A and B are shown apart, each in its own frame.
Chain A
Amino acid sequence: MRSAKTLLSAIVFLALVTTLAVPIVTARAQDKIVLRFANWVSAEEASRERVETVIAAFEAENPGVTIENIPIPFDQVRQQLITMSAGGNPPDIMLLNGAWPFELGGMGALLDLNTVAPPEYLADNWEGGLGAGTYEGKLYAVPQGMTPHGFWWNKKLFEQAGLDPESPPRTMDELNEVMATLKANLPDDVYAIGIDTSKVDYALTGFWPWILTTGARPMYDGSYDFTTPEVVQAFDWLKMIADEEYTPIGQQIKEERELMAKDRIAMKLDGPYFVGILRSLNPDLEGDAFYETFAVTTVPDGGNGTPVTLADLHQIGISAQTDHPDVAWKFIEFFCASEVAVTEYTVPMGMIPPLKSAADTYGDLLGDPVSQAYLNEILPSMIGGPYDPQYGAAAQFVIQAMQEVAVAGFPVDASLESLTQTLQILYQQ
Chain B
Amino acid sequence: MQPSASLTRRLAHRIFLSRQGRVSDGMYAVMFLAPVLIILVVVIFYPLGRVLAYSVTNANLLFPDRETYIGLDNFDFLINQDQIFKTAVKNTLVFTLASVAGGFSIGFMLALILNEKLPLRNVLRGVALIPWVVPGVIVALMTLYMFNGEVGVINYTLRSFDLIDENIPWFGSLDHAMWAVIVANVWNQTPFYMLMLLAGLQTCPDDLMEAAKIDGAGSLARFRYVTLPHLSKVIMIITALMVIWNFNNFDLIWTTTQGGPVNSTMVLSVYTYRQAFISFQTGYASAIAVLWLLGLLAFSYFYIRAMES
Chain A residues near B (Cβ < 8 Å): 2, 5, 8-9, 12-13, 15-16, 19-20, 79, 82-83, 86, 103, 106-107, 189, 197-201, 248-251, 255, 258-259, 264, 389-390, 392-393, 396, 399-400, 403-404, 407-408, 410, 429
Contacts and interface: CB of A to CB of B under 8 A. Distances in A.
A12 B32 contact: yes
B23 to A, nearest CB: 7
Contacts of B23: 5, 9
B61 A250 contact: no
Contact of B280 (A5, A9, A82): A82
B169 A248 contact: yes
B63 interface: yes
Nearest to A401: B262
Interface string B157-197: 00000000000011111100000000000000000000000
B61 A407 contact: no
Contact of B38 (A20, A248, A400): A20
A8 B172 contact: no
Contacts of A198: 171-172, 257-258, 260-261
Contact of A199 (B64, B148, B260): B260
Contacts of B28: 5, 8-9
A63 to B, nearest CB: 38
B136 interface: no
A198 B150 CA distance: 14
Interface of B: 22-23, 28, 31-32, 34-35, 38-39, 58, 61-64, 148-151, 169-174, 257-263, 274, 277-281
Contacts of B274: 396
Nearest to A83: B61
Contacts of B258: 198-200
Interface majority SS on B: helix, strand, loop or mixed? loop
A86 B61 contact: yes
A250 B169 contact: yes
Nearest to B30: A12
B173 A407 contact: yes
Contacts of B35: 12, 15-16, 19-20
Contacts of B171: 198, 250
Contacts of B63: 106-107, 389
Given A12-B35, A250-B149, A396 B278 contact: yes
A410 B174 CA distance: 12
B62 A249 contact: no
A407 B31 contact: no
A396 B279 contact: yes
Nearest to B177: A250
A103 B172 contact: no
Given A201-B278, A250-B172, 20 more contacts: A9-B23, A12-B35, A16-B35, A82-B61, A82-B62, A103-B62, A106-B63, A197-B261, A199-B259, A199-B260, A200-B258, A249-B172, A249-B173, A250-B173, A251-B169, A259-B151, A393-B279, A396-B274, A404-B262, A407-B260
A5 B29 CA distance: 12
Nearest to B172: A250
A403 B262 CA distance: 6
A19 B28 CA distance: 19
Nearest to A191: B150
B291 to A, nearest CB: 20
Contacts of A13: 31
B62 A106 contact: yes
The interface centre, meaning the residue of B23, B62, B149 with most chain A CB atoms within 10 A of its CB, is: B62
Q: Which 4 A-B pairs have the closest CB atoms?
A: A250-B172, A199-B260, A393-B279, A249-B172
A392 B280 CA distance: 9
B150 A264 contact: yes
A113 B169 CA distance: 46
10 contacts: A16-B35, A107-B61, A107-B64, A200-B258, A248-B149, A259-B150, A259-B151, A392-B278, A393-B281, A403-B260
Contacts of A251: 148-150, 169, 172
Contacts of B39: 20
Contacts of B150: 189, 248, 251, 255, 259, 264
Q: Which of A15, A20, A201, A407 has the most CB of B within 10 A?
A: A407
A363 to B, nearest CB: 40
A392 B31 CA distance: 48
A410 to B, nearest CB: 8
Nearest to A249: B172
B263 A407 contact: no
Contact of A408 (B259, B262, B278): B262
A269 B277 CA distance: 28
A400 B62 contact: no
A13 B35 CA distance: 10
Contacts of A106: 62-63
A90 to B, nearest CB: 13
Contact of A107 (B34, B62, B257): B62
A201 B34 CA distance: 45
A201 B277 CA distance: 13
Nearest to A106: B62
B195 to A, nearest CB: 32
A5 B31 CA distance: 11
Contacts of A389: 62-63
A236 to B, nearest CB: 18
A250 B261 contact: yes
Contact of A16 (B34, B148, B151, B257): B34
